[in-house]
Structure 1
Amino acid sequence: MRFVIVTGLSGAGKTQAIRCLEDLNYFCIENIPPSLIPKFAELSYKVNDSVEKIAIVIDVRGGKFFDELFNGLQDLNKMGYKYEILFLDASDETLVKRFKESRRSHPLSKKGRIVTGIQEERERLAEVRRRAHHVIDTTSFSTKNLKDKIKSIYGHYERENGFIINVMSFGFKYGVPIDADLIFDVRFLPNPYYIEELRSLSGNDKSIMDYVTSYDVTREFINKVTDMLDFLIPYYIEEGKTQLVIGIGCTGGRHRSVVIANAINDFLKKGHSSEVIHRDITHDVSRGVR
């Protein structure tokens, strides 16, 4: 059985995450009191012939019940039940913007400033975040980005004890993904942004791929990175790591990083469960990005 506890900051995407898990046939429950988690897990494991994937959402809206979370997790450990914590995070600026756009008050703001509630919640959740098995920063994520990320982690029950790789292209101008284990900066590669007829295209277009990979430095870089990953991955697996997030960044996340991420993913998926995510490919499409 896969037993997932979904938590994180208010406004960071827990609702979207649980919807994605429902689409993946997880049995989902929102805001169960943490004190009931051990009992619920016990019942779930007893009927695991019919329920194989379960996700529960808990957050600070549970009030004093949320403070019982660590006792509940400790009981799960004592009872020998496996579980995973998925933590949804986002920058303060992004969370404030989302609350203002939705015209909702923060559950901890007490009729005060939204940012005050966010800061208090971040402090209360610091230890939970530290214990999380997966942390997803949704600051620059679209709904599709989050869905792809959830699918890559939880999409296949048979992968539970496997090794999952995410190759993520991104733009440094939009921030480095906080969950990346390895970061490669490809801003040194020739930039198609400065060629007018290529500027509006993306790294998924053949013209961009042909341009970027036509240079010896690009091909040499891809060979060196894939050779290093070929060396590292067996040691990550031996160490017990279950997921590897590889970030490939250029200036805007639309051209060079997309080409390189696709090339690395094509190499990795021949021997591993690897998926590519292009986080910033749709940013500033009308103006063009670097």
Structure 2
Amino acid sequence: MIDAAPSPAPPSVRPLLLVTGLAGAGKSTALAVLEDLGWETIDNFPVRMLKSLVTTPDDAHAPLAIGFDSRTRGFVPAEIIALVKELSERPDLALTSLFLDCAGGELERRFNETRRRHPMADGRAVQEGIAAERELLEPLRRWAEVLIDTSLMTSNDLQTRMRELFAPADAAAALTVTISSFGFARGMPPLADLVFDMRFLDNPHWIPGLREQTGQDRAVGEHIARDPAFAEAFARIRDLLLLLLPRYGAQGKPYVHIAFGCTGGRHRSVYTAETMADALRAAGFSPTVRHRNLGSRTADAIEGNAR
């Protein structure tokens, strides 16, 4: 029995993960994480049909996760183990079994909190149903290559552990990063994860010849970069993002929206967003850049009188 990630399968071999365990131990959560990681997932699949499923011609080679437990039709542990042994000999499959375990007292607490019936209680006390299911599943628990005990885990803990075990090696690179610019005068972006206010920089709006240009124009960028505060502030924000983004990815957050704001959303925020996108690309990320108010007209009333 191990609690470690399976070895990566060759490109021509399809990973197949069988996910089972005690009711209430977290199977649905585990399958949801796998789906987010790009696995094809099927829950409560009749196990006797598994051989037909993986024999069907399929051009897709996405990893496949099959969830089943004591509620699944035709659930007989000995027959499942025999089938698993047969499928393990297939050269086109890399088969792994995952068993989700949990202490009886914790399972009882979970069922009482959710007010759900235990599938094997059948009119008996929940602890009797848990004991009966544990006895039924013991052969599968002994057989499984990967065991996760969720007794002391929160749902977030289990999600993190699943990502540690089954996320592809380049999962951090799959993080979708959006960098945007906006004008505070026209409202803050409602869905930004991180917002940086660049209004401490000198405003090009009040410089003759720069007002009608934008942060995408060279002259405006050079003006902003000459501000004594820009270089240090930019470096600190960049270093913060390089610290946070991999940790967001490790926590399973698929999207991160970073917004830079200034008064009108045409100069300081635009230049900073473009420059930060270049810095993140150099660090291995692939951000998408959006400028919400770049096309807005200039207005002294919006920019205010402060220079």
What's the TM-score, normalizing by structure 2? 0.48
Residue of structure 1 in register with 2:69 after alignment: 59
| Letter in structure 2 aligned against 1:38 | K
Task: In structure 2, give the amino acid aligned to 1:149.
Answer: R
Give the secondary-structure state (helix, strand or coil) at the position aligned to 2:75.
Answer: helix
Secondary structure of the structure 1 residue equivalent to 2:72:
helix
Amino acid in the other structure paired with 1:69:
I
Deviation at 1:36, TM superposition (A): 1.1
Instruction: Give me the whole-angstrom Cα distance separating, in 2, the residues matched to 1:78 and 1:23.
Output: 28
Match of 2:148? 136
1:37 and 1:106 map into 2 onto residues whose CA distance is 26
Counterpart contact for 2:22–2:102, Cα < 8 Å: yes
Q: Could you give the per-residue CA deviations for residues 231-263 of structure 1, whole angstroms, max 9, x where no partner exists?
A: xxxxxxxxxxxxxxxxxxxxxxxxxxxxxxxxx
Q: Alpha-carbon deviations, 1:204-231, whole Å to 9, x = none?
A: xxxxxxxxxxxxxxxxxxxxxxxxxxxx
What are the superposed Cα offsets for residues 128-187 of structure 1, whole Å, 9 maximum, x if unpaired? 11111111111111121111100011001789xxxxxxxxxxxxxxxxxxxxxxxxxxxx
Structure 1 counterpart of 2:80: 69
- Report the structure, 1 or 2, having the larger helix content: 1
Q: Please tell me whether the aligned partners of residues 105 and 111 of structure 1 are also in contact (alpha carbons under 8 angstroms).
A: no
Relative to 1, partners in 2 of residues 1:73 and 1:139: Cα closer, same or farther, differing over 3 Å? Answer: same
What is the Cα-based RMSD across aligned positions, in Å?
Answer: 2.1
| CA-CA distance at 1:31 after TM superposition | 1.1
Alignment partner of 2:30 out of 7, 10, 17: 17
- Per the alignment, residue 153 of structure 1 pairs with 165
Are 2:45 and 1:35 equivalent residues in the alignment?
no
Describe the SS at the equivalent of 1:107. coil
1:117 maps to: 129
2:202 alignment counterpart = none
Q: In percent, how many aligned pairs have the same letter? A: 31
2:100 aligned partner, one-letter code: L
Corresponding residue pairs, total = 158
Where does 1:1-290 land on structure 2 (aligned, <5 Å)?
Answer: 1-43=14-56, 46-47=57-58, 49-67=59-77, 68-80=79-91, 81-156=93-168
Maintained 8 Å contact 2:98/2:146: yes
Deviation at 1:78, TM superposition (A): 4.6
| Counterpart-to-counterpart distance in 2, 1:112 and 1:105 | 10
For each residue in 1:37-77, what CA deviation from the matched residue of structure 2 results, as whole angstroms up to 9, or x when unmatched?
A: 1221222xx42x42321101010002543443123213313
Deviates most, 79-88 or 145-154: 79-88
Shift of 1:117: 0.8
Deviation at 1:9, TM superposition (A): 0.3
SS of 1:11's equivalent in the other structure is coil
Q: What is the rounded CA distance, in whole Å, between the counterparts of 1:147 and 1:29 in structure 2?
A: 18
Paired with 2:90 and 2:31, the residues of 1 have a C-alpha distance of: 26
- Unpaired segments of 5 or more residues in structure 1? 160-274, 277-290
> Match for 2:53: what amino acid?
F
Q: TM-score, normalised by structure 1?
A: 0.51
Q: Is the radius of gyration larger for structure 1 or structure 2? A: 2
Residues 61 and 116 (structure 1), Cα distance of their counterparts in 2 relative to 1, 3 Å cut:
same
Tell me the secondary structure at the aligned position of residue 83 of structure 1: strand
Cα offsets for 1:9-56 (capped at 9, x unmatched):
00000011111111101100011111111221222xx42x42321101
Matched letter for residue 139 of structure 2: E
Alignment match, 1:239: none
How far apart in 2 are the matches of 1:101 and 1:153?
A: 29
- List, as ranges, runs of 4+ consecutive aligned residues in structure 1 with deviation greater than 6 Å: none
1:4·1:54 contact (CA, 8 Å) conserved in 2? yes
For residues 108 and 62 of structure 2, the distance between their equivalents in structure 1, rounded to whole angstroms, comes to 37
